[in-house]
Chains A and B, each alone.
Chain A
Amino acid sequence: MPVRTDIRKILVLGSGPIQIGQGCEFDYSGTQACVALRELGFEVALVNSNPATIMTDSTTADRVYIEPLTPESVLAILQRERPDALLPTVGGQVALNLFLWLEQNGHLKRLGVSALGVSESTVVLTEDRRAFRSMLVELGYDVIRGGVANNPQDALQLAQELSFPLVVRSSFTLGGAGGGIVQTQVQFNELLSRVFAQNAAVELVIEESIVGWKEYELEVMRDSAGTFVVVCGVENINPMGVHTGDSITCAPCLTLTDREYQQLRDQAKQIFSQVGMETGGANIQFAVHPTSGRIVVIEMNPRVSRSSALVSKATGYPIARLAAKLAAGLTLAELQNEITLSTTAAFEPSIDYVVVKIPRWDFNKYKGASQSLGVQMKSVGEVLAFGRTFRDAFQKAWRSLELGFEGWPEAPRDANIELELATPTPLLFPVIKSILCGAIQLGTPSHEVIESLHKKTGISSWFLHQLLQLVELENQLALKPESQELLLKAKQDGFTNKAIAALTRQSIEQIESRLVSMNVKPTFKMVDSCAGEFEAKTPYFYKTFDQFDDNCPSTRKKVVILGSGPNRIGQGVEFDYSCVHAVRAAQAAGYEVILINCNPETVSTDHRVSDKLFIEPLHEEDVLDILRAEKPDGVFVQFGGQSPLKLASPILAAGFKILGTSYAAIELAENRNAFGEFITKIGVNVPRWSSGSSFSECMSLAVKLGFPLLVRPSYVLGGRAMRIVWSENELAAALNEALEASAGHPVLLDRYLAGAIEFDVDLVCDGKEVFIPTLMEHVEEAGIHSGDSTSLIPCLKASAELQQEILAICEKIALQMGVCGLLNVQLAAHNGKVFVLEVNPRSSRSVPFVSKACAVPLAQFAALVALGEPLRTLVSSASKIQAGKAPLYAAKAPVFPFHKFPGVSPRLGPEMRSIGEVMGIGTSHGAALAKAYRAAGWSLRTSGKVLLLAEQSAVQSIAPALQMLTQEFSFQLGCLNNRPDFLTLSHDLVQVFSEFQQALEWARKSIQDSELAMVIFVPTQASTTLHTLADEVGALTTHAAIPFIDSVFALDAWVLALANGRNFENPSPLGEAMQL
């Protein structure tokens, strides 16, 4: 079928900020969809609030709206654009929900907009569990068995029909445990008597538990002609019970016979057509009982997803790209397999390798959060690794996590083995390794260990046996360190030279020379979607140790760009954005560009982006193996954040050229002593500081420096283990963690500049000249991590003179350091003086924000400059410093995942905890802030209740804001201890609580009644009661999405936003916004 001619213009919905469960996979799918639709000649407009995406680049679509993804805002855009069609299937659940709202409220019909790829009934059917279940029953498929009981007799009857364990849920929580798993009849009887005694009218849903069943997903596609393909099956190594986003998964499915696999395929095909989905990609999840083979459908997502991004990367089959083309009317048979260029897209990829995905968690950012893995996803990123065997890929995946592992690690000594097995946490697999190692030492028969582990964890014995092989190999290597056979096997099973060296008690150099003498070299295999059956044209590779190499390095001039690895707090999609821009710039400059990364969610790991893609860990050995094979003219380490920067030294030592800023300058910025000397020499202020390597040294240094102090480890990103301390006691408490995180490097102690205004600058320097597009002013005071701050372009508070002074300082640092490329400088203005807080000679989180606010491709400039292009050819000298002349008002606001971590306090500090960001663009600071806050998910209510937590002494500092809130708006105020004396309001409007508990209860009730609009906390040092209360109330607000405002400056910004809150209905696309 040809491309639809009844539509001309399409609006594509993005997914908004990165959140847990909604990562940068939607930047990948959204970008792919836009490119695909434009290739077909459609006019494409898109909306997305996330500035850190390639999707929101002005070049991705004909018109790009960086606007909140709220119903009102999207409706306003629809009304302005009047597209013929809407594509809601590439922006995750956010886009689907927006589509539902627009459809159900009649807006699409009224505006004559048709939805592509999905219908309302499909979304409703796949989301309504009951309807979905009855559809499955109608189709004759097995479903989770269960029923409803209103009395103990029925409940017992049900239990008899089913078998234990059972899942029991009720309308209210069961003894505080929520829906629970009941293992035995005795437990069940107890539960019944308790529940029905409490409330005789309770209704219980009793179902069989499928925890421990095998879990599979099929990524499928179908076109309007009814052609159906399974792109790939994914097997969850963690069985049912752990969210697939938190599970270690692999492809292809490794423990299914063809008979079973085809049953899954048949069901997927049938369900796809039954839910009324005409075209596109979908994900269907199954549970398979391990000893009876019963198959139960868990759910279906009628859209592209995290798994579809993973499967696209795992097979080379671009699901989102094809889904967009199918939605436009084309069929799979009409589309080409873009990898072979000779066969059709109507096929099912066959792969001759194994991929393993491991999630990355960042629990240490969320103190007090439970680390147990269950039905709610908690990971913040993931890695993908390719190997010729499962073992090879599994080892590589652990290495890709960048947690310091060479491969699959053992658990720390203090891990509670039995507990980990019973309730999986991120330590489950390390614990399994410890158990297997222990069993080998004790000589326990392997089948016994595997049987017992299988019983306790539900993990398939096949995978456990693979893991056992790895442990046995380690053991053998230690026993026979000279064996050539074992050495080769170790390389083929994904061990690094460093790991082998440790096991064989040899040096890395010894291992390397043994491999040379054995003629064992790394080989690169192509990802070709067809297992070698057809000739493939796409240069997409992974490393393994096999006999023959698929990779033919070119003789072109070429560069390697190192990506940023898995998303984590502090290093996310922003760095991938810079990498992709660097790729484009270097390609434009005539270079072959080779990209190395291991994050399957990203745009950079789309093999269409670079000239050659290697999905490999950002690990010294893996990267050097590629460099030695490719012999590039240079390597970029400045775009992928801290991960590639750490590799600069070994890359240089191996004889490769670091492009741009020299290694010496990178070192200078990392080495606090050298940097301190340097900065003093050039006459720039830094807060008084010192560094110490031991507890006692730090304590005595602190006394000399005075308090407050900022304590931080060196060589970490995202402010890990960074604390502000006001006293010796607090310092002592913070030091141990900082010393540990520093891992041998000294801990840094800086004087903390309380109440300072913080600034962020991203600039490009070519060694001779400096280009500073703008200054960013933080809303929150210095001390709140820059990644967690709301930031503004242009400056709101800084005077023109102050701005000029900051620009001059940045220019001086860049030139004196000899920066060639990007430089990020963080500064603070305190009592009329400017201090430099941090200097990073690399890309930063704010580069995309600045690039979009100022319409300059900053990362591209940096790449070009590093390749020798003079800055003056890129920017006219007059525009070299544009600060203060930003063409629009822009605000960037952080997005936090606190609601996924119950009990965690949302109070901000020097350690970064936000996971995503949004951008608001407007005609004033207030309007930009209002949009940013809305985009971040806050409702900007102008009435309701406000809880104020502040000491009397601090209240004065927020007097104007409080006046505004209570008088301009109609907020009611609840205060602890004191009534602000400047408020001349009636008792109805201001309530005063004399006790902690009273205030907490009031907050709880107001949240329950949906009346609480915000909590204001003005921190004062050493006010413990208030801090405790703030933590408790804060934890309550995270679930209800209520703003928790914990600084004076932030409150001012909120008031400004509220005052401008109604201006958001006026969306304008990027280019037009620029002309404001």
Chain B
Amino acid sequence: MRASLLLEDGTHVVGQAHGERGERVAELVFNTAMTGYEEVLSDPSYAGQFVLFTTSHIGNTGVTGFDSESRAFCAEGFICRDFSECVDNYRAVSNLAELLKASGRFALSGVDTRYLAQRVRLAGCMKAILSTEDFDPDSLMRKLKSASDISSQDLVLKTRSFSFQNARERSAFVGGNNAQANRHGQASHRFKIVAVDCGIKRGILDSLEELGLDLHIVAPDASLEDIAAIRPDGLFISNGPGCPKQLAASTQILTIIQTFAARLPTFGICLGHQLIALAFDGDTQKLEFGHHAVNHPVVSTCELADMPAGVVMMTSQNHNYHVVEKSVREQFEITHRHMNDGTVAGLRHKRLPIFSVQFHPECTPGPHDAHALFSVFVKMLEEASNASAH
């Protein structure tokens, strides 16, 4: 079976199709990680996007379920150089071909992925159409042009149905033999956290629960009353797909942040980081082609809890937007910076216990260098609890 991909700039390639038949329009982003395709494809933040993998072989280690970031295949589809039918991993319970079929998605292989990545690098993120039916570039272009943009709100609502709502749910998903999930059950719940789920990753759930946090997951359009009724000790704003401003415009999210972050220790990751900035008068902008990799260096630019400034970490990143530095200077301190392009990678509010990072300290997939940052949130919670005790 063949499939063809047309980019907004007219680039048209034809290769092998895998999975279901169909036709889809999405934004094309490339990811340079050499491992972790299962995490990437199940990451709710990739909703509405085609993932172009630059690494040569995809599918080699099959699908474990255990490593999934949600219970669904979140990306619209993917493109790779070589699609592996054969799987070698003792934890694999399935393979990519089956996963594609089960989720009604399809993928394209056998095309010049390096060239496509270079197109995206030069022309920026583009819409693309992937089809197993249509191989005519003109017709594909017409369809691409007429496709309506999916709104961020819809994206988030859609992906929220994919994301795990707690560790027990995840445990059920992977078949109940999840040692990590069992551990969560035994953890003493010191703090009650409201996590605003814009498409929360399993890795983040795991990381927060590992620290003994009692998570209460709410939607970005949850009412302030409902949240207050939980009587949370802290607030967490998750990662998620799409444009932060669109989401802000169409939901309660900024009000939630403004209301609760003023009194509760607050932590945000990726989209959450951008939303926190927006909630405190900051601005976000689209990056040319985004950061989608697990090898991006980030340096800490100030002391944070017991972590010194000047520490270089290899981080996992997945974002198309960034916080404009001068828009947050007044209220925030820059805690981390991307070393490649100098953009803001972490913020701490100057007065309030608010901390957020643009990259992914849960590191699924990716190096674990930044994982210790979750403990900053716990420290903030402890400090707040000590202060209120006095």
- Measured CB to CB, the residues of A under 8 A from B are 225-230, 252-259, 261-262, 265-266, 290-293, 331-333, 342-344, 346-354, 388-390, 450, 460-462, 465-466, 525, 530-535, 546-548, 550
Asked if B36 and A258 sit within 8 Å, CB to CB, the answer is yes
Determine the distance from Cα of A346 to Cα of B298 in the docked complex, in whole angstroms. Answer: 9
B295 touching A350, Cβ below 8 Å: yes
Beta-carbon contacts under 8 Å, B116-158 to A: 117-118, 121
Contact of B91 with A352 in the complex, beta carbons under 8 Å = no
Kindly state the separation between the CA atoms of A227 and B311 in the bound complex, as whole angstroms: 7
Name the residue in A255, A257, A290 with the highest tally of chain B Cβ atoms < 10 Å from its Cβ: A257
Interface residue from B55, B67, B293, B297 paired with A346 (Cβ < 8 Å): B297
Contact A261-B13, Cβ < 8 Å, known A255-B61, A344-B297, A344-B339: no
Q: Could you name 17 residue pairs across A and B whose Cβ atoms are closer than 8 Å?
A: A253-B34, A255-B61, A258-B67, A258-B364, A258-B365, A262-B363, A262-B367, A290-B90, A347-B314, A347-B340, A350-B55, A352-B32, A352-B54, A352-B113, A462-B84, A532-B121, A533-B54
Besides the known contacts A258-B35, A548-B112, 8 further A-B residue pairs in the complex with CB atoms under 8 A apart: A225-B311, A257-B61, A265-B368, A333-B312, A344-B297, A346-B339, A347-B295, A531-B54
Report which residue of B36, B117, B314 has the largest number of chain A beta carbons within 10 angstroms of its beta carbon. Answer: B314
**B297 x A253 contact (CB < 8 A):** no
Q: Which residues of A contact B365 (CB under 8 A)?
A: 258-259, 262
Chain A residues with CB below 8 A from B61, complex form: 255-257
Please measure, in the bound complex, the distance between the C-alpha atom of A225 and the C-alpha atom of B369, giving whole angstroms.
Answer: 14
Count residues of B near A (Cβ-Cβ below 8 Å): 54
Q: Closest CB-CB distance, B108 to chain A, in whole Å?
A: 13
> Per-residue CB proximity of B353-365 to A under 8 Å, as 1/0?
0000000000111
Q: Which of B36, B60, B81, B118 has most chain A Cβ within 10 Å? A: B60
B330 within 8 A of A: no
Check A548 against B115 for contact (C-beta < 8 Å). Answer: yes
CB–CB B121/A333 < 8 A? no
The yes or no answer to B302 lying at the interface (CB within 8 A) is no
In the assembled complex, B299 has its CB within 8 A of some CB on chain A: yes
What is the minimal beta-carbon distance from B380 to any residue of chain A, in angstroms?
25
User: At the interface, yes or no: B103 with Cβ under 8 Å from chain A?
Assistant: no
Which chain B residues have a beta carbon within 8 Å of chain A's beta carbons? Answer: 13, 30, 32-36, 38-39, 54-57, 60-61, 64, 67, 81-82, 84-91, 111-115, 117-118, 121, 293-297, 299, 310-312, 314, 339-340, 363-369
| Minimum CB–CB distance for B313 against chain A, Å | 8
- Residues of chain B with a CB closer than 8 A to A390's CB: 56-57, 82
Query: When the two chains form their complex, are residues B113 and A333 in contact, meaning their CB atoms are under 8 A apart?
Result: no
CA distance A530 to B31 in the complex (A): 11
CB-based closest 10 A-B pairs: A258-B36, A465-B86, A258-B365, A462-B88, A547-B112, A531-B54, A258-B35, A548-B115, A348-B295, A227-B312
In the bound complex, how far is the Cα of B86 from the Cα of A466, in angstroms? 8
Shortest Cβ distance from B302 into chain A, in angstroms? 16
- Chain A residues, CB < 8 A from B91: 257, 293
A347-B112 contact, Cβ under 8 Å, with A226-B311, A258-B39? no
Pick the contact of A532 from B89, B90, B117 — CB < 8 Å?
B117
Nearest-neighbour CB distance to chain B for A306, whole angstroms, equals 22
Name B297's closest neighbour in chain A (CB-CB): A346
Contact A389 B113 (CB under 8 A): no
* A259 and B203 alpha carbons, distance in the complex (Å): 11
Determine if B312 and A343 form an interchain contact, defined as CB atoms under 8 angstroms apart: no
Q: Is the interface of B mostly helix, strand, loop or mixed?
A: loop
Which residues from B are CB-within-8-Å of A547? Answer: 13, 111-112, 115
Residue of B at shortest CB range from A547?
B112
B90 touches A292 (CB 8 A): yes
B residues less than 8 Å from A255 (CB atoms) = 60-61, 88-89
- B88 to A460, Cβ gap below 8 A? yes
Q: CB distance A293 to B295 under 8 Å?
A: no
A227 to B118, CA, bound (A): 29
**What is the CB-to-nearest-CB distance from B13 to chain A, in angstroms, rounded to a whole number?**
7
Q: Once the chains bind, are A354 and B117 in contact (CB under 8 Å)? A: no
B88 contacts which chain A residues (CB < 8 A)?
255, 460-462
Query: Within 8 Å CB of A525, what residues of B?
Result: 114
User: Contact at B297–A347, with CB atoms within 8 Å?
Assistant: yes
Q: What is the minimal beta-carbon distance from B83 to any residue of chain A, in angstroms?
A: 11
Complex contact A257–B36 (CB within 8 A): yes
Closest to A529 in B: B295
**Chain A residues whose C-beta falls within 8 Å of the C-beta of B56 in the assembled complex:** 352-354, 388-390
In the bound complex, how far is the Cα of B236 from the Cα of A903, in angstroms? 70
In this complex, the member of B112, B296, B368 whose beta carbon has the largest number of chain A beta carbons within 10 angstroms is B112
Closest to A548 in B: B115
A350 touches B57 (CB 8 A): no
Minimal Cβ-Cβ distance residue in A for B299: A333
Given known A265-B368, A350-B295, A531-B114, contact A257–B57 (CB-CB < 8 A): no
B35 and A261 form a contact (CB under 8 A) = yes
Chain A hits for B314, CB < 8 A: 228-229, 347-348
Q: Which of A354, A388, A533, A546 contacts B121 (CB 8 A)?
A: A533
**A residues near B299, Cβ cutoff 8 Å:** 333
Residue of B nearest to A545 (CB): B112
A450 CA to B36 CA in the complex, in Å?
25
Give Cα distance in the complex from A533 to B114, angstroms: 9
Cα–Cα, bound, A293→B368 (Å): 19
- Which chain B residue has the least Cβ–Cβ distance from A546? B112
Residue of A nearest to B37 (CB): A258
Q: B82 to chain A: closest CB distance in Å?
A: 5
Q: Taking A257-B64, A265-B367, A465-B86 as contacts, is the C-beta distance between A350 and B35 under 8 angstroms?
A: no
Asked if A388 and B312 make an inter-chain contact with CB atoms under 8 angstroms apart, the answer reads no
Check if A388 sits within 8 Å of B297, measured CB to CB: no
| A227, B313: Cα distance in complex, Å | 7
**Contact (A253, B296) CB under 8 Å given A265-B368, A460-B88, A462-B86:** no
Distance, CA A353 to CA B115, complexed state (A)? 13
CB distance from B341 to the nearest CB of A (A): 9
- Contact of B36 with A352 in the complex, beta carbons under 8 Å: no
* Complex alpha-carbon distance, A249 and B88, angstroms: 17
Cβ–Cβ < 8 Å partners of A291 in chain B: 90
Contact call B57/A254, Cβ cutoff below 8 A: yes
Flag if B32 contacts A530 (CB, 8 Å).
Answer: yes
| Residues on the B chain within 8 Å of A465, using CB | 84-86
With CB as the reference atom, state the residue of chain B lying closest to A255: B88
Contacts of A331 in B (CB 8 A): 312
- Most chain A beta-carbon neighbours within 10 Å: one of B33, B34, B85, B311: B34
Beta-carbon contact of A351 and B34 below 8 Å: yes
Set of chain A residues within 8 Å of B295, measured between Cβ atoms: 347-350
B340 surroundings in chain A (CB, below 8 A) = 342-344, 347, 534
Residues of B within 8 A of A346 (CB): 297, 312, 339
